[in-house]
Amino acid sequence: MTILGLIGCVLILSVMVSYLTMTFVLHQFTYKTWIFDGVVGVGMLIGAASWLLEGGSWLAWSTLTLGIIWFLVTRIELRLVGSKDLHLRVGDRVPAMAFVTTEGTPITEHELIANAPTLLTLYRGWWCPSSKVQMQTILDQYDQLSPKGVSIYAASVDDPEAATPIQEHVGKRITILCSVSEDVLKTFGVLDKRGAPWYDRILFGAPEQPIAMPTTLLINNEGRIMFASRSTRVDDGPRVAEMLAGL
């Protein structure tokens, strides 16, 4: 057993343990998955170098196997299941929508248009660590969006009580909207039929129901879509420069 092989194995195991701890113990996922992917990739390169130097030691094979397992499992778990395409395009008129705030105030698309330019983000739910990253990303972009007069809303299928902690976290910078209907998600083309994964249901009590795919829309004062983006994985999203270009 060489130091090189041990370093690669420990590096990948450390990534796995930290990822699982942040996701399922702390429930405070704050890093992009690609950062973990990069570290695992480095560990696999070290494992490959160890394999070449040692002629195929068990530790080198174990390191490479762990890396392959990481990428296979994360690719499966990060995928979105449901709608094939986002139905809304730039220039389309915003369809009818109905929400309630965490305080129970009804809101429709008319309020969003009246407060345009409006950024409407759809997120998976209160239980999802990636949704917390999504909210934090918007908060980080706030200083770039606010001077443009952008009103920011984030909506999900959560009921008001479940979404209240998120509203408290984001403060007045983002208005959290609740009770998005399945029909609205179908109209948008953002319905994830799988819903919360089984482990989130067991560990966090996530409800068993269809949810939204992470989606970002920019709406102008005529009720037209200026920017539209739907994530293909739970941990990706548009860049602020892309959204600002829509303005």
Please state, in angstroms and rounded to a whole number, the distance separating the CA atoms of residues 215 and 213: 6
Per-residue pLDDT tens digits for 17-29: 988 888 788 776 6
Residue that is written with structure tokens 């999802």 in the block: 128
- Asked if 57 and 50 count as a contact pair (C-beta separation under 8 A), the reply is yes
Nearest CA to 54 out of 1, 101, 122 is that of 1
Q: Which pairing describes strands 98-101 and 106-108: parallel, antiparallel, or unpaired? A: antiparallel
Please state, in angstroms and rounded to a whole number, the distance separating the CA atoms of residues 68 and 164: 39
Alpha helices in 55-158 (DSSP H): 58-77, 109-114, 129-145
pTM across the whole model: 0.84
Nearest CA to 44 out of 85, 4, 95 is that of 4
- Kindly give the confidence (pLDDT) of every residue in the chain, 247 residues in length, as a single tens digit, with 9 standing for 90 and above: 578 778 889 999 999 998 888 878 877 665 678 889 999 999 999 988 888 887 767 888 889 999 999 999 988 888 888 777 899 999 999 999 999 999 999 999 999 999 999 999 999 999 988 888 888 889 988 999 999 999 999 999 999 999 999 999 999 999 999 999 999 999 999 999 888 888 888 888 888 889 999 999 999 999 999 999 998 888 788 877 787 787 7
Please state, in angstroms and rounded to a whole number, the distance separating the CA atoms of residues 176 and 132: 13
Contacts of 76 (CB under 8 A, 6+ apart): none
Q: Is 101 helix (H, G, I), strand (E, B) or coil?
A: strand
| Structural tokens at position 64 | 């490479």
DSSP 8-state code for residue 26: I
The predicted structure's pLDDT at residue 24:
80
